[in-house]
Structure 1
Amino acid sequence: MRYLFAEYVFDTDRRELHRGADVVSVAPQVFDLIDYLIRNRERVVSKDDLIKTIWNGRSVSDAALTTRLNAARVAIGDSGDEQRFIKTLQRKGFRFVGAVREAKEPAEAIVADDQVEVQKVDLALPDRPSIAVLPFENMSGEPEQEYFAEGMVEEIITALSRFKSLFVIARHSTFTFKGKAVDIKEIGRRLGVRYVLEGSVRKASGKVRIAGQLIDAVTGAHLWAERFERDLADVFALQDEVAVAVVSAIQPKMIQTEIEVATRRRPENLTAYDLFLRSMQQYYLTTRESLAEAIRLAHCALDLDPRFGSAAALAGDCHASNVALGYTNDPQFDRKEAVRLARLALRIGDDDPDILSRVAVILAGMVGDSEAEIELADRAVALNPNSWRTWNNRGWVYTMAGLPEEAILSFERAIRMSPVDPLLHMTFLGIAHALIALRRFDEAIVALKRALRHNPSFLPACRGLASAFAHLGRDVEARAAAARVLEIDPSFTISAHIARSPKSPKLFIEGLRKAGLPE
């Protein structure tokens, strides 16, 4: 049997591992380890399973097992940080998570003779957004600028790889296409990815111009394109700056496209990931009805895959949002569910930055152990400093911890990461709350109005406006904002709000009273 994944062919009959046309040297025990993980890729393999199969039940130290796993990862171009093929599930075991195709055709049909060709098979798409970053074309006509173009691509691949929700093809696979006229759809089929990023670099007159475009490799549609021009002063700082800008633009665009694809699929195609994407779409709407539907869909995803940590975190986030936004009819239930699901998500994926950041903000609102939640939020940012979500949620954690200056810095970083994010109204709301805590009411009003431009019926922003206007003595505007609050939520009272959100700052509540909202 031959198993095909990414640019690799794993031949169990010949006991050979091929990368393109090259044979990769693999120790026999490491080969057996990869073989066992691939054959059992539909489940999590425990440490005891590996010891029983690979070492015939002999006593083996954790260090020996780790050494073999690291060797297996090196052989297939993986790493403990990236884990794009072999995933470690804390306290559970290991699982081969790469998209695998079984092939029975002759090896000669799979492994090309031409050293520059990748394998001659079409790979199935993974169950998450997948992308290959092609070598950027050096338009300068200067061979010495090749290092800059290659460094640019490496920076982008590294930044994208920090998103555990993305499947990112390694550099050595995409660079087999360097200098060749390529068909994007063919590359997508060969590498098993839905998205391809290509670009060019041109240096002239002390400046560098970088162009990039994101293409849907299935349809050939161009999803995003942008040009960057910078002074060529510090090339390494420039590489980092442009990489952040590119990743900040294309990661949300990919997720948005994935959600649109999921909602167009036939209703009976209800895989866990599809359900998760549909839940995300409802979560973005942040209405009472949409959050209820998001919770339902996320729980359906968990029913199909109880180890789906992101779905558990999303469901917990929705329950916490019900409390924070004043939608809940049973605050105690939503609080308990938010905490339960957050802790479940943390047990499943305590190395996933998105999960860590969601859990941090849930527990900050529902539990209030500032030190622990700040540690989670900071760890999420350290694992992925290129994510809107990690910075946005860090801002909320610091706001609730009573550190508004640091919160504002985090929110501003989030906006830079994703300037067109569908949840920007939440970011502007966070900035406003931090500004109110600092008694910078004029600036808070500006942020709240920006939130309402993104979401005109966003009740928390209307409440914020009522409070901020009242503190400034702008009574007419304060009462108009209060009227809008009651128009959206006729049952609103300050006492009910405090019962739902007991951590609401006294200064904020004082403004609501001054605005004339009912007690």
Structure 2
Amino acid sequence: MRYVLEGSVRKAASRIRITGQLIDATTGAHLWADRFDGGLEDVFDLQEEVTRSVVGAIAPKLEQAEIERAKRKPTEHLDAYDYYLRGIASLHQLTRESTADALQLFYKAIELDPEFASAYGMAAWCAVMRKANGWMTDRKQETAETERLALKAVDLGRDDAIALSRGGTALAYVVGDNNSGAAFIDRALALNPNLATAWLFSGWVRADLGDTETSLRHLATAIRMSPVDPLMFDMQNAVAVAHLFAGRFEEASSWAERSLREKPDFLGSLRFAAASYAHAGRTEDAQKVVSRMLALDSGQRISNLADVVSTSRPADMALLAEGLRKAGLPE
């Protein structure tokens, strides 16, 4: 047994306190701890909140602990799951090189285990990051390969929420099949409603489909379930996008700022931040963001927005283009 989740329950009058902690049994290290307070009259609601919060909070901690364990193993002895974990660790670095490395690690995991659905899903999701950052070099070939990987993920992973949610997101964002992507993500949520990233991806797809209110509810769930998630910057960016498409430019600007504090050089966040600032009348801030975008990728243009943004509503694309135009992005 590698990890142990332990806790206690204390009662005082009509109040109850539940505490929990996650421990690495091999090292004794404490990976996570929290407490939950409530009244005895709503003890069942509290029990549900504790379950949801614990599962959502410890999943990223367990994943990170397993990544660190895999890093300590000699490369020549890695099995498929260890390659998979190393791929996730590389993805979290979010550079062109680390994303390329991650893809090769996922391919290695697939080579060792051709039925590894989640590895196919994560390999497909690499293309999501490549597209968002303008790193694709052969768009036609990479899109076709992403579709192959994503369809393999959702076929093999009919009962695998990670495979379904990552594969579904790749189908929506990279391949452009938002409806199929949303359906696979919905299945992921039905299988595992405690998977914060599935709520994140659902929020993205709903925003791209124009259902901004559902998007915001799903994103709020993701943020509440996993408040220290490695993808928090993307959760915040998605909230900004939903508010932007809903015409709430001040709210969009506020959330875009939070996302940029987490990942200042993520082009996906910079793009929507610039448009949000411009529509909110913060022209100077918008211009600064566009300058940063062009420093990172001098080829960014209004005319190639469709290469890096996926939305099914022309009005949303026009709104984004108008904002970036006001911010000074070249045609």
Alignment TM class, shorter chain as reference? over 0.9
The one of the two structures with greater contact order (alpha-carbon pairs below 8 A, sep at least 6) is 2
1:231 alignment partner, one of 39, 52, 69: 39
Given that 1:361 and 1:397 are in contact with CA atoms closer than 8 Å, whether structure 2 keeps it comes out as yes
What's 1:244 paired with?
52
For residues 112-141 of structure 1, what are the alpha-carbon distances to aligned partners after superposition, in whole Å with 9 as ceiling and x for unaligned? xxxxxxxxxxxxxxxxxxxxxxxxxxxxxx
Question: Does residue 495 of the first structure (1) align with residue 307 of the second (2)?
Answer: no
Q: Secondary structure at the match of 2:77?
A: coil
Larger helix share, 1 or 2: 2
Question: Does residue 300 of the first structure (1) align with residue 108 of the second (2)?
Answer: yes
Q: State the identity as a percent.
A: 46
Gaps of 5+ in 1: 1-192
Cα distance in 2 for residues equivalent to 1:341 and 1:414: 25
1:316-465 aligned within 5 A = 316-465=124-273
Structure 1 residues 246 and 499: CA distance shift in structure 2, 3 A:
closer
Q: Secondary structure at the match of 1:229?
A: strand
Cα distance in 2 for residues equivalent to 1:334 and 1:432: 28
Once the two structures are TM-superposed, the CA of residue 435 in structure 1 deviates from its matched residue by 0.8
Cα distance in 1 for residues equivalent to 2:288 and 2:177: 37
What's 1:28 paired with?
none
Cα distance in 1 for residues equivalent to 2:292 and 2:192: 39
Given that 2:173 and 2:310 are in contact with CA atoms closer than 8 Å, whether structure 1 keeps it comes out as no
Once the two structures are TM-superposed, the CA of residue 494 in structure 1 deviates from its matched residue by 2.3
1:265 alignment partner, one of 50, 57, 73: 73
Question: Does residue 507 of the first structure (1) align with residue 319 of the second (2)?
Answer: yes
Structure of higher CA gyration radius: 1
Structure 1 residues 413 and 266: CA distance shift in structure 2, 3 A:
same
Given that 1:323 and 1:335 are in contact with CA atoms closer than 8 Å, whether structure 2 keeps it comes out as no
Cα distance in 2 for residues equivalent to 1:510 and 1:420: 34
Q: How many residues align?
A: 327
Given that 2:131 and 2:307 are in contact with CA atoms closer than 8 Å, whether structure 1 keeps it comes out as no
Cα distance in 2 for residues equivalent to 1:420 and 1:230: 23
Once the two structures are TM-superposed, the CA of residue 359 in structure 1 deviates from its matched residue by 1.8
For residues 404-441 of structure 1, what are the alpha-carbon distances to aligned partners after superposition, in whole Å with 9 as ceiling and x for unaligned? 11111111100011000011111111111111100111
Given that 2:189 and 2:199 are in contact with CA atoms closer than 8 Å, whether structure 1 keeps it comes out as yes
Question: Does residue 480 of the first structure (1) align with residue 292 of the second (2)?
Answer: no
Given that 2:154 and 2:184 are in contact with CA atoms closer than 8 Å, whether structure 1 keeps it comes out as no
Cα distance in 2 for residues equivalent to 1:468 and 1:408: 16
Cα distance in 2 for residues equivalent to 1:466 and 1:238: 41
Given that 2:147 and 2:170 are in contact with CA atoms closer than 8 Å, whether structure 1 keeps it comes out as yes
Cα distance in 1 for residues equivalent to 2:269 and 2:4: 38
1:16-165 aligned within 5 A = none
Cα distance in 1 for residues equivalent to 2:67 and 2:186: 28
Q: Secondary structure at the match of 2:125?
A: helix
What's 1:210 paired with?
18
Over the aligned positions, Cα root-mean-square deviation in angstroms equals: 1.5
For residues 211-248 of structure 1, what are the alpha-carbon distances to aligned partners after superposition, in whole Å with 9 as ceiling and x for unaligned? 11111111222222222221221221111111112222
What's 1:110 paired with?
none
What's 1:282 paired with?
90
**TM-score, scaled to structure 1:** 0.61
Cα distance in 1 for residues equivalent to 2:149 and 2:142: 10
Cα distance in 2 for residues equivalent to 1:499 and 1:230: 49
Cα distance in 1 for residues equivalent to 2:220 and 2:26: 35
Cα distance in 1 for residues equivalent to 2:177 and 2:306: 19
Q: Which amino acid aligns with 1:517?
A: L
For residues 347-375 of structure 1, what are the alpha-carbon distances to aligned partners after superposition, in whole Å with 9 as ceiling and x for unaligned? 21111111111122111123444443332
Gaps of 5+ in 2: none
Q: Which amino acid aligns with 1:357?
A: S
Given that 2:122 and 2:167 are in contact with CA atoms closer than 8 Å, whether structure 1 keeps it comes out as no
Cα distance in 1 for residues equivalent to 2:75 and 2:160: 29
What's 2:328 paired with?
516
Once the two structures are TM-superposed, the CA of residue 502 in structure 1 deviates from its matched residue by 6.0
Q: Secondary structure at the match of 1:365?
A: helix
Cα distance in 2 for residues equivalent to 1:289 and 1:443: 33
Q: Secondary structure at the match of 1:431?
A: helix
Given that 1:320 and 1:334 are in contact with CA atoms closer than 8 Å, whether structure 2 keeps it comes out as no
- Runs of 4+ deviating beyond 4 Å: none
Once the two structures are TM-superposed, the CA of residue 201 in structure 1 deviates from its matched residue by 0.6
Q: Secondary structure at the match of 2:115?
A: coil
Q: Secondary structure at the match of 1:234?
A: helix
Cα distance in 1 for residues equivalent to 2:178 and 2:136: 24
Q: Secondary structure at the match of 2:41?
A: coil
Given that 2:208 and 2:310 are in contact with CA atoms closer than 8 Å, whether structure 1 keeps it comes out as no
